[in-house]
Structures are given as structure tokens and as C-alpha cells.
Amino acid sequence: MEYVLTATKTEARAGSYYDRIARLYDLTFKVNGYGRSLDQYFANHPLPVSRGARILDAGCGTGLLTLALLRAIRFPVSITALDLSSTSVAAARKSLYYSPGRKRDVTFTQGNLLCLPFADESLDLVVTAGALEYVPLADGLTELARVIAPGGHLLHLPVHPGLIGVFLEILFRFKSHPPKEVKDKTERHFRIVHQYRFPRREAIGWSKTAILAQKV
Ligand SMILES: C[S@@+](CC[C@H](N)C(=O)[O-])C[C@H]1O[C@@H](n2cnc3c(N)ncnc32)[C@H](O)[C@@H]1O
């Protein structure tokens, strides 16, 4: 299997693999109830943000997590949804069409999560799901930690290795990071607040966990 390393800190491939498969990704994850599972998770684990919070969705893809953030956070915030794939960013922007009242809360941008267009310690929350699997983990976490203010949070939904994880690795050409490595490298910058296993009856529970961590 070819592992698609999408980018290094100084160089990003022109576009990404997702420029070709964004539609397949969007369809797969809409059909499998990903959005509903995220809604349930946020209902049970309210996000540690307040009005006006500065939020980044790093590797936003077609915007499924970005939209779930908007459904969960009922007050005005400032979300940047960033992805390497311009096709995915365009699809994410289009999906906001159905939430016209929240358009002002989200800015979409094409970019590399290894080289973020933000000043040090300028964000309150970074969320990232299924994107750090495309980059060296330590580099990705270091860059996300750089932009989060002390006391701010990281919500990371890594892919859990396992049978479904391997299937997804082949389908979407990434490499999941071993859970111990995720924990150890997260703790270089953050204090882990909770680690959550999604219910097995939900499709997300076959492949993903959630780690909420606070910048120390
Ligand atoms: C599995 S999808 C996840 C999308 C979205 N976070 C979600 O939960 O539905 C992975 C996304 O990460 C993006 N990606 C991969 N490497 C990236 C990088 N270095 N910088 C920004 N985005 C990247 C891909 O283009 C793709 O859209």
C-alpha cells in the first residue's frame, strides 16, 4: 500500500489525494452516520469554548466536522476550516449553504496543517479528525500546539488501528498512528482531559476515538 504523505513543513504537494476522492469521502461518511455520531458526542461532551472563541478545523475535508461544530456551538464563534485539498475546501464551503445564518462564523482556506497561517498561541480550540494520519505525528502535533493559547484545547479524533482502520487505510491511503504514540506525543504539549471510545454500534466507533487535551 502506498502511504500518501501529503506534505512536509516546507513543501505541500500541489493539491492532495483528496482533490480526486473528496466526493467518495463525503458520500461514505454521510452514509455511515458520522455527523449524527459527532452530534451525540458534542451533546455529551460540551466543547470548552465561549462566545467569540477562535477555532480551527485542521484538515476539514468536506466540512462534516465543521458543520457538527456549528450545530453544537449555538453562539457566535470564529472558525477557520483549513484543508490542503482545494476541492474539499470548495465542497465544505458549499455545504454551509444550508446553514446561511452561520456563514459569518466560518472562513475557509486552503493550507497545510504543518505550516499554519496563525500566530503563536492565537487560537482557543483546534479540532482535527483523520488528518494527522497523513503527516509525521510529532510535526503535526507540534504545529497545532504552537497556535493554541495556553489553557486552550485540542480535540483530536485519531483513527484507531484495527480491522476497519486497515480497510480505511487502504481506501484513503493514510497511516494510522499507534495509540501509545498518539498519547505520548500529545503529552509533550498537552494534558489529556479525556479519551473517549465511540459506541461500537456506531460506525465511527469501529475506527475512531476522541482525545480532548488542554495546552499546558
Ligand atoms: C480523512 S479526511 C478527514 C476530513 C474531515 N476532518 C472529517 O472529519 O470528515 C482527511 C483530510 O485531511 C486533509 N489533509 C491531509 N494532509 C493535510 C495537510 N498536511 N494539511 C491540511 N490538510 C490535510 C486531506 O486533504 C483530507 O481532506
User: Distance from the CA of 89 to the center of ligand 1, in angstroms?
Assistant: 10
Residues 121 and 104: their CA atoms lie apart, in Å, by 23
7: Cβ below 6 Å to ligand 1? Answer: yes
pLDDT one-digit tens code per residue, 174-208: 999 999 999 999 999 999 999 999 998 998 988 89
Distances in Å between the Cα of 154 and the Cα atoms of 15, 33, 127 are 25, 23, 6
Distant-in-sequence contacts of 134-137, Cβ < 8 A, 24+ apart: 134/4, 134/5, 134/6, 134/7, 134/16, 134/59, 134/174, 134/175, 135/5, 135/6, 135/7, 136/5, 137/177, 137/181, 137/182, 137/185
pLDDT of 15: 60
Indicate the helix (H) or strand (E) that contains 145: helix 137-147
83: Cβ below 6 Å to ligand 1? Answer: yes
Average pLDDT over residues 145-158: 98
**Model's pTM, two decimal places?**
0.95
pLDDT of 3: 61
80: Cβ below 6 Å to ligand 1? Answer: no
Cα dihedral angle (87, 89, 93, 94), rounded to 10 degrees? 20
In the chain the domains, ranked by start, together with CATH numbers, are 18-204 (3.40.50.150)
135: Cβ below 6 Å to ligand 1? Answer: yes
Residues 110 and 204: their CA atoms lie apart, in Å, by 26
pLDDT of 75: 96
6: Cβ below 6 Å to ligand 1? Answer: yes
pLDDT of 4: 67
Instruction: Pick the atom of ligand 1 nearest to 128's CA.
Output: 6
Is the pLDDT score of 2 beyond 70? no
Average pLDDT over residues 43-66: 97
Q: In the chain, pLDDT over 70 holds for what percent of residues? A: 97
Residues 35 and 215: their CA atoms lie apart, in Å, by 27
User: Distance from the CA of 40 to the center of ligand 1, in angstroms?
Assistant: 22
Per-residue DSSP letters for 30-96?
A: HHTTHHHHHHHHHHHS--S--TT-EEEEET-TTSHHHHHHHHH--S--EEEEEES-HHHHHHHHHHG
60: Cβ below 6 Å to ligand 1? Answer: yes
Residue whose Cα lies nearest atom 26 of ligand 1: it is: 61
pLDDT of 8: 84
Residue whose Cα lies nearest atom 9 of ligand 1: it is: 64
Average pLDDT over residues 17-37: 89
207: Cβ below 6 Å to ligand 1? Answer: no
Residue whose Cα lies nearest atom 17 of ligand 1: it is: 84
Average pLDDT over residues 26-49: 93
